[in-house]
Amino acid sequence: MTQDLQALLLGGTAFPFHDIEELGPHIEAALSAEGIDAEITTDREELAVLPDSEYDVCIDYTTDSEMTDAQLSGLLEFVERGGGYAGVHGAAALETTVPSDPDDVVGEREEPNPELEELIGGRFIRHPDPAAFDVRIVDSHHPITINRADFQAYDEPYEVVTDDVHVLARMDHPDLGDMPVAWVKPYGDGRSFYTALGHFRSAFEGEARALLGAGVRWAGGRA
């Protein structure tokens, strides 16, 4: 497929999971197969200059939501002015931060960033152990999910809260119940897409890959 969309793929984490060095090449290959040319970076200063960049969309594969004021302002301005945002998996973990206690794996911030939560359209609360679950397409007319079939995923099932979003896919989980998996929302003149899938390599293969690719293309204005 011709690569007609330029994406900044932002990763990097202080935690022993969601490692962009490990998963980045798989994500990059998955996006390439969907016509997306992704440049991987762990430098969050790239966010500050996004409004003046040539990127069509920013793909967020971070987990701690640590940003300076300039980095956050750059990201928000980029999307407000017509750029795209695609949050993947841990991008919605807005209460997660680097722990102050070295014996802890993660820390918890007192209050999630409301501006990031508005951009994403929701936030992560918790997850049970990884499991297989069915992903149900609930809007078969949206450009991201048109003619797309339900599929099974093996991932961390995320409990999330959302606000003012258009849900595209949901799951049924014995612990979490009926829960959104993917959604979209407008943001200024831009578009925001989020998928809760993304912990394992399998999230960038098969139907999960196709969902991510279509979501990124939609956010970047190609659908």
Tally of domains in the chain: 1
Question: Is 101 within the bounds of a domain?
Answer: yes
Q: What pLDDT shows up at residue 94?
A: 87
In this structure, what CATH number is given to the domain that contains residue 51?
3.40.50.880
Rg for the chain, CA atoms, rounded: 16
Q: What is the mean pLDDT of the chain?
A: 91
pLDDT in tens, 86-117: 999 999 998 765 555 555 545 565 677 899 99
Question: Is 80 within the bounds of a domain?
Answer: yes
CA dihedral angle for residue 32, residue 160, residue 48, residue 108, rounded to 10 degrees? -130
Do the bridges between strand 151-155 and strand 131-137 make them parallel or antiparallel, or are there none, so unpaired?
A: antiparallel
Question: Is 85 within the bounds of a domain?
Answer: yes
Tell me which residue range forms the domain holding 33.
Answer: 5-124+181-219
Task: Give the amino acid at 30.
Answer: A
Q: Report the Cα 83 to chain-centroid distance in Å.
A: 15
Enclosing H/E stretch for 154: strand 151-155
Question: Is 166 within the bounds of a domain?
Answer: no
Q: Average of pLDDT values for 165-180?
A: 93
Largest interatomic CA distance in the chain: 48
> Looking up tokens 């070295």, which residue turns up?
102
* pLDDT tier at 171, thresholds 50, 70, 90: very high
Percentage of the chain beyond pLDDT 90 is: 74
Q: Which residue has the higher pLDDT, 2 or 9?
A: 9
CB neighbours of 129 closer than 8 A, spacing ≥ 6?
Answer: 156
Question: Is 51 within the bounds of a domain?
Answer: yes
71: which 2 tokens?
């980095």
Angle at 171 between CA 105 and CA 62, to 5 degrees: 35
Q: What pLDDT shows up at residue 159?
A: 94
> How many residues are listed for the chain in this entry?
223
Report which of 203, 86, 211, 209 is spatially closest to residue 155, judged by C-alpha positions: 203
**DSSP label of 188:** T
220: which 2 tokens?
């970047």
**DSSP label of 104:** -
Question: Is 37 within the bounds of a domain?
Answer: yes
Indicate whether 13 pLDDT > 90.
no
Number of neighbours of residue 69 by Cβ within 10 angstroms: 8
Q: Give burial (CB, 10 Å; 0-12/13-18/19+) of 104.
A: exposed
Q: How far apart are CA 104 and CA 82, in angstroms?
A: 39
Q: What pLDDT shows up at residue 110?
A: 60
Question: Is 161 within the bounds of a domain?
Answer: no
Question: Is 192 within the bounds of a domain?
Answer: yes
Task: Give the amino acid at 22.
Answer: E
